[in-house]
Amino acid sequence: MHASTAMPADEDTSTRHPVVIIGAGPVGLMAGLVLTEAGVPVEIYERNLEQMNELRSAGLQPRMLEVLDHYGIVDRFIEVGNPITAVQVYLKGTFIPSAGFDSIRTEYPFVLGCGQNTTEILLHQRLAELGVHVQRGWRYVAHATTDDAACVDVQLARVDSDEVMERRACYMLGCDGGRSSVRKAIGAQFIGKKTNEKIVACDMKVDADQLPAAW
């Protein structure tokens, strides 16, 4: 079943303030898609002028694929992605026995290898088809709720000039990542814990001849 853009008859989007979304990472883009498909007007503001070009989160789980199916766009991801049906762990010179994903009850019993940059591009494309264009180069600065608490005025500043603007929203979504300015502004806690592990991430091509023989 795919999402419908149908609106209740008594709703009039022209008089409603939009939901303002801060940040066009996967969370902001997906929130934008879900709301748009539900007939809720959105405006998405992203401080980066250019599309992020790193692999980062590299796999889409079966449940995420089911959600993308619901919104009618899973085929676009499968077309460019690489279905991973099993994972082989190689530790200190030994292969560790590991299970595949066959036993998961889903239409998509695999993790789809698909870089976060590709995920973001495909979500951008779908939003554009629905008439939503991410406003790049705008940085969230601050916000204030109106006296009747019905709306929120969001202050945004250009990253490449002195231009500032204010947008009135019915809601603001802080989708601005791990160091979220919105979260800090509303005084919300970052729930979780820090570890001392150091992880090095790099995007590279590996010559297959260099991998262990059974790989």
Ligand X SMILES: Cc1cc2nc3c(=O)[nH]c(=O)nc-3n(C[C@H](O)[C@H](O)[C@H](O)COP(=O)(O)OP(=O)(O)OC[C@H]3O[C@@H](n4cnc5c(N)ncnc54)[C@H](O)[C@@H]3O)c2cc1C
> Closer to ligand X at the Cβ: 22 or 65?
22
By CB under 6 A, tell whether 117 contacts ligand X. Answer: no
Asked if 35 and 16 touch (Cβ cutoff 8 Å), the reply is no
By CB under 6 A, tell whether 27 contacts ligand X. Answer: yes
By CB under 6 A, tell whether 116 contacts ligand X. Answer: yes
> Closer to ligand X at the Cβ: 47 or 124?
47
> Closer to ligand X at the Cβ: 22 or 114?
22
Residues within window 127-166 making contact with ligand X, judged by CB under 6 A? 139-140
Residues within window 50-109 making contact with ligand X, judged by CB under 6 A? 56-58
DSSP code of residue 93: T
> Closer to ligand X at the Cβ: 13 or 125?
125
Residue from 19, 42, 43, 47 binding ligand X (CB under 6 A) = 47
| Cα distance between residue 121 and residue 73, in whole Å | 12
| Cα distance between residue 172 and residue 168, in whole Å | 9
Residue of this chain nearest to ligand X (CB atom): 25
By CB under 6 A, tell whether 28 contacts ligand X. Answer: yes
> Closer to ligand X at the Cβ: 5 or 198?
198
The helix/strand/coil state of 13 is helix
Asked if 139 and 49 touch (Cβ cutoff 8 Å), the reply is no
| Cα distance between residue 1 and residue 94, in whole Å | 44
> Closer to ligand X at the Cβ: 13 or 53?
53
Instruction: State the DSSP string of 23-92.
Output: --SHHHHHHHHHHHHTT--EEEEES-SS------S-EE-HHHHHHHHHTT-HHHHHHHSEEE-B--EEET
Judged by CB under 6 A, the stretch of 82-90, 147-155, 174-182, 189-197 that binds ligand X is 174-182
Bridge partner residues of 55 (DSSP): none
Binding site for ligand X (CB under 6 A): 22-28, 45-48, 56-58, 116, 139-140, 175-177, 181, 201
